């Protein structure tokens, strides 16, 4: 199957022993010298330090809130994390691999051959598939013994290792306007446009752009 969707640090307490507002007598040569202490002058630095700590924490919390809001915006409106279920995109994408899907990119650029995209399964939109775009609108697709021809030319597919190829043939067809011909890289384990036909753009969710788990697969989806 191919479905995929699924303290602040406490401020340092600044304390200082209260300095009594009294006079201290220091004996010098049998003479009492009176030296007054000025509490206000001594207490001022701790107060400034305390205020600086509060300002620092407020700034830290403000930056944290901004960062969280930015991350939420990116995830909600631009990127969607999904889990790959199934083996139809091996060896590029593994079963249970986690990836990010860019849901906004196709508002800025067209879907192109070679893109790996997530789309709603046309026959059951509660399911989502992930496949590679083989043909776009107007392309003539013809598959002979597993070899894919696009507009009369054999398609170079280095993403399909020999052990994942199959030998099915598909009569020539022209991809309709607003539709795309999709295929999985693991050809002998994939249900794709060879079975259910071209996929209309209205079913497209977005472009698979980045794998983030497992960590050894971290990087751009190719």
List, by residue number, the catalytic residues. 88, 131
d(CA 100, CA 211) in angstroms, rounded, equals: 6
Q: What tokens does 142 get?
A: 């013809």
- Please, are residues 115 and 127 in contact by the beta-carbon 8 Å criterion? no
Q: Vertex 89, ends 216 and 97: CA angle to 5°? A: 35
Q: What tokens does 186 get?
A: 């693991």
Q: Which residues contact 84 (CB under 8 A, 6 or more apart)?
A: 2, 4, 93, 94, 95, 96, 97, 98, 99, 130
The end-to-end CA distance of the chain, in Å, is: 20
Q: Vertex 1, ends 130 and 140: CA angle to 5°? A: 50
């Amino acid at each position: 199957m191919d479905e995929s969707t699924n303290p602040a640090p406490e401020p340092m307490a600044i304390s200082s022993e209260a300095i009594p507002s009294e006079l201290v007598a220091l004996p010098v040569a049998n003479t009492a010298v009176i030296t007054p202490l000025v509490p206000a002058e001594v207490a001022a630095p701790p107060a400034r330090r305390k205020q600086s700590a509060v300002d620092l924490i407020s700034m830290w919390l403000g930056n944290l809130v901004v960062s969280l809001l930015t991350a939420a915006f990116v995830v909600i409106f631009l990127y969607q994390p999904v889990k790959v279920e199934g083996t139809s995109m091996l060896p590029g994408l593994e079963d249970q691999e986690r990836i990010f899907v860019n849901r906004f990119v196709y508002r800025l650029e067209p879907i192109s051959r070679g893109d790996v995209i997530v789309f709603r399964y046309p026959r059951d939109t509660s399911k989502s598939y992930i496949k590679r775009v083989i043909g776009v609108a107007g392309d003539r697709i013809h598959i002979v013994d597993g070899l894919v021809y696009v507009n009369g030319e054999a398609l170079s597919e280095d993403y399909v290792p020999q052990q994942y190829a199959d030998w099915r043939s598909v009569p020539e067809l022209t991809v309709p306007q607003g539709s795309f011909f999709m295929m999985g890289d693991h050809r002998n384990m994939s249900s794709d446009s060879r079975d259910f036909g071209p996929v209309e753009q209205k079913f497209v969710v977005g472009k698979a752009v980045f794998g983030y788990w497992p960590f050894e697969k971290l990087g751009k989806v190719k």
